[in-house]
Amino acid sequence: MPVTKIEKINSNSFWCFWDITESFDQLREKVVLSEDGVRELESISHPLKKKERMAARCCLQELMQHVGKPYLGITKDEHDKPHLIGSSYHISISHSFPYAVAILHKKLKVGIDVEKPTKKLGKIAHRYLNEEEFADCKGDLRKLCIYWSGKEAIFKLNGKMGLNFKRDIRIAPFTLHKQDVIRSEFSVGNATARIALNYKEINSHIFCYCF
């Protein structure tokens, strides 16, 4: 099926949500791949992962068309952060079957993540939650998922390795809704940046983005 949704966040930012129902070949026919993209695709052996990657790139292509700019593919830096070829716009992508998402911001760095609440998140919570965050969850899988997905989005926004999810990325306690904005922050060295973390729940999946 075509793009499920392109949503305007503000005058400079949009995000795209894709429900993956196409075959890999159908997705491949839709999207432009750079040389880096072709090499990355060839390195992936799992059929579902290949399909997810293609759908995420379809999201980016749709977003660029939406803002009236050509899409020439993406390249990734040494930290695996994607960048648009031939454009200064900032992007981030994520996928968790059957969904793929992408976000674009004309001026600011962005991060996005999509996850499905699973029991595994509870088993590894001690790795990514500090004491205050853990106490706030009370074992609720949806909250655990928002914390995990939110920290993933913030990690992607920063775009550099070395951030410790438990120590360096902190999300304030919150009341659970279908969508909301949460106060958060991350620290790099002696500097701390405050972030407004947005989350939405759609079809039992959690979507988080920030810029």
- Helix (H/G/I), strand (E/B), else coil: 34: coil
- For the cut 90, the answer to whether the pLDDT of residue 160 exceeds it is no
Confidence of residue 189 (pLDDT cuts 50, 70, 90): confident
Average pLDDT, the chain: 95
Are 102 and 9 members of one domain? yes
Are 77 and 163 members of one domain? no
Domain closes at, from 83, 108, 133? 108
Are 119 and 102 members of one domain? no
Are 149 and 187 members of one domain? yes
Are 62 and 136 members of one domain? no
Are 186 and 99 members of one domain? no
pLDDT for the residue 183? 98
Are 16 and 93 members of one domain? yes
Are 165 and 86 members of one domain? no
Taking the C-alpha atoms of residue 135 and residue 193, their distance in angstroms, rounded to an integer, is: 24
pLDDT for the residue 36? 87
- For the cut 80, the answer to whether the pLDDT of residue 91 exceeds it is yes
- For the cut 90, the answer to whether the pLDDT of residue 37 exceeds it is no
Are 65 and 118 members of one domain? no
Taking the C-alpha atoms of residue 145 and residue 137, their distance in angstroms, rounded to an integer, is: 10
Taking the C-alpha atoms of residue 208 and residue 169, their distance in angstroms, rounded to an integer, is: 14
Range of the domain at 28: 5-108
Are 86 and 145 members of one domain? no
- For the cut 90, the answer to whether the pLDDT of residue 41 exceeds it is no
Tally of domains in the chain = 2
